[in-house]
């Protein structure tokens, strides 16, 4: 057995002999042999190469699960993961009481839900006028689409949680289908906006998804979304305990650099890309910060520090706004890594959280 790891089987960790090094705050354990799965585990889990460059060579990035970093393209991803049919069953719980995506009990509760993300919708309107079709992928019970309709868009959604989709269709009269994006037919060049709000990291075939989003958007159409930031302050500080590591559900862990690279590679022109606290717990962020910097217990000092780490690309989530180029302007997709435009970072006015 390799000198790096004496024995490793998925779900168990025994006597690692490894060097440690700082990499995005992670404990890097060197080359990561593919974990051996028992016969029963093989019924429950798939093992996959890098979802972007398809190589198997990787280094260990986290210990909680088989989370590795591709040795060729640097993408961090979940290499050993639950089979799609098992995950589909788990996603059905998203509509249950107590879940962050639980169905609203009243129309008034729906109208006041934080899942509407009004500030993010307002930011979308900086890049495109309302009026066309807006597709929200992983739309839950339709909170964001409800706000989009109020602002003048023609809303439509995709959601595999059956009860959530049924609520959107029956209670909100918003058309939502329960098929996967890659299995759903849309007319090429037909959509004005496509959104994914904490969804892209859940998708097992991100390259194919990005290609399809580009295809169904009309020229000049907008692709906007939010993903967790693997290079965030809390990811670095908490390591295995970082809440958004989410080892069963998050297939790909993006940084600003890797996300910008893959958007450009798919043919998008990035308009804005930055980090923010977003949905992460403000209280948890302050607890971690104060543990090492007691002076940040003062609100003014903490807020100034938070703005600085977000500007330094260490906010907990990444927000992106990318456009399908209008071919008339002569934009050439699939840029080389060194040709990617400079990233615009920092919190945006009026939407620090």
Query: Taking the mean position of all CA atoms in its chain, how far away is CA 143?
Result: 18
The arithmetic mean of pLDDT across residues 226-242, rounded, is 94
Distance CA 320, CA 340 (A): 15
Using alpha carbons, list the distances in angstroms from residue 234 to 24, 62, 151, 274: 10, 14, 34, 16
Residue 7 has pLDDT above 80, yes or no: no
169-180 pLDDT, tens per residue?
Answer: 999 999 999 999
CATH architecture of structural domain 90-339: 3-Layer(aba) Sandwich (3.40)
Q: What is the pLDDT of residue 343?
A: 44
Percent of the chain clearing pLDDT 70 (strictly above): 83
Q: With cut-offs at 50, 70 and 90, classify the pLDDT of residue 352.
A: very low
Q: What is the pLDDT of residue 90?
A: 84
Residue 134 has pLDDT above 80, yes or no: yes
HEC per residue, 263-322: HHHHCCEEEEEEEECCCCCHHHHHHHHHHHCHHHHCHHHHHHHHHHHHHCCCCCEEEEEE
Distance CA 322, CA 315 (A): 19
Percent of the chain clearing pLDDT 90 (strictly above): 70
DSSP-assigned letters across all residues of 218-279: EEEEEEEEEEE-TTSHHHHHHGGG-GGG-TTT--EE--HHHHHHHHHHHT-EEEEEEEE-TT
Q: What is the pLDDT of residue 259?
A: 97
Q: With cut-offs at 50, 70 and 90, classify the pLDDT of residue 328.
A: very low
Neighbours of 253 (CB within 10 A): 27
Distance CA 129, CA 110 (A): 25
Q: What is the pLDDT of residue 327?
A: 65
144-194 pLDDT, tens per residue?
Answer: 999 999 999 999 999 999 999 999 999 999 999 999 999 999 999 999 999
The arithmetic mean of pLDDT across residues 51-76, rounded, is 93
Evaluate whether 183 touches 208 at the Cβ level (below 8 Å).
Answer: no
Give the CA-trace dihedral at 341, 347, 348, 351, to 10 degrees.
140
Query: Could you tell me the two tokens for 154?
Result: 């023609």
272-299 pLDDT, tens per residue?
Answer: 999 999 988 999 999 999 998 999 999 9
Using the Cα atoms of residue 324, residue 353, residue 116 and residue 183 in order, give the sign of their dihedral: positive
Q: With cut-offs at 50, 70 and 90, classify the pLDDT of residue 248.
A: confident
The arithmetic mean of pLDDT across residues 236-259, rounded, is 92
Q: What is the pLDDT of residue 339?
A: 38
Q: Which regions of the chain does DSSP assign to beta strands (E)?
A: 5-9, 12-16, 22-23, 26-27, 45-47, 58-60, 67-70, 76-78, 80-82, 133-137, 154-158, 176-177, 191-197, 217-228, 252-253, 269-276, 317-323
Parse the chain into domains and list their residue ranges. Answer: 5-82, 90-339
């Amino acid at each position: 057995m390799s000198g790096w790891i004496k024995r490793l089987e998925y779900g168990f960790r025994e006597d690692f002999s490894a060097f440690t090094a700082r990499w995005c705050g992670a404990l890097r354990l060197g080359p990561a042999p593919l974990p051996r799965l028992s016969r029963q585990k093989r019924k429950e889990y798939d093992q996959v190469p890098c979802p972007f460059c398809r190589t198997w060579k990787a280094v260990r990035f986290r210990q909680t699960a088989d989370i590795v970093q591709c040795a060729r393209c640097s993408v961090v991803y979940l290499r050993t993961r639950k089979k799609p049919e098992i995950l589909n069953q788990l996603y059905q719980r998203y509509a249950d009481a107590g879940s962050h995506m639980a169905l609203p009990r009243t129309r008034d509760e729906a109208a006041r839900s934080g899942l509407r993300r009004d500030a993010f919708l307002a930011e979308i309107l900086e890049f495109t006028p309302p009026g066309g079709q807006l597709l929200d992928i992983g739309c839950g019970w339709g909170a964001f689409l409800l706000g989009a309709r109020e602002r003048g868009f023609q809303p439509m959604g995709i959601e595999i949680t059956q009860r959530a989709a049924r609520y959107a269709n029956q209670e909100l009269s918003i058309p939502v289908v329960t098929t996967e994006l890659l299995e759903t037919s849309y007319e090429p060049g037909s959509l004005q906006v496509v959104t994914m709000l904490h969804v892209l990291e859940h998708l097992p075939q991100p390259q194919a998804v990005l290609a399809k989003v580009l295809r169904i958007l009309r020229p000049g159409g907008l692709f906007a979304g939010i993903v967790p930031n693997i290079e965030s302050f809390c990811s670095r500080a908490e390591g295995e305990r970082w809440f958004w590591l989410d080892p069963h559900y998050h297939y790909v862990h993006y940084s600003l650099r890797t996300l910008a690279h893959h958007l450009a590679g798919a043919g998008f022109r990035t308009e804005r890309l930055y980090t923010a606290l977003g949905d992460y717990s403000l209280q948890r962020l302050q607890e971690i910060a104060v543990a090492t910097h007691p002076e940040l217990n003062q609100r003014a000092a903490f807020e100034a520090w938070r703005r600085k780490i977000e500007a330094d690309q260490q906010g907990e989530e990444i927000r992106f706004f990318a456009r399908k180029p209008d071919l008339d302007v002569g934009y050439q997709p699939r840029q080389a890594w060194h040709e990617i435009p400079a990233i615009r970072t920092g919190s945006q006015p009026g939407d620090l959280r």
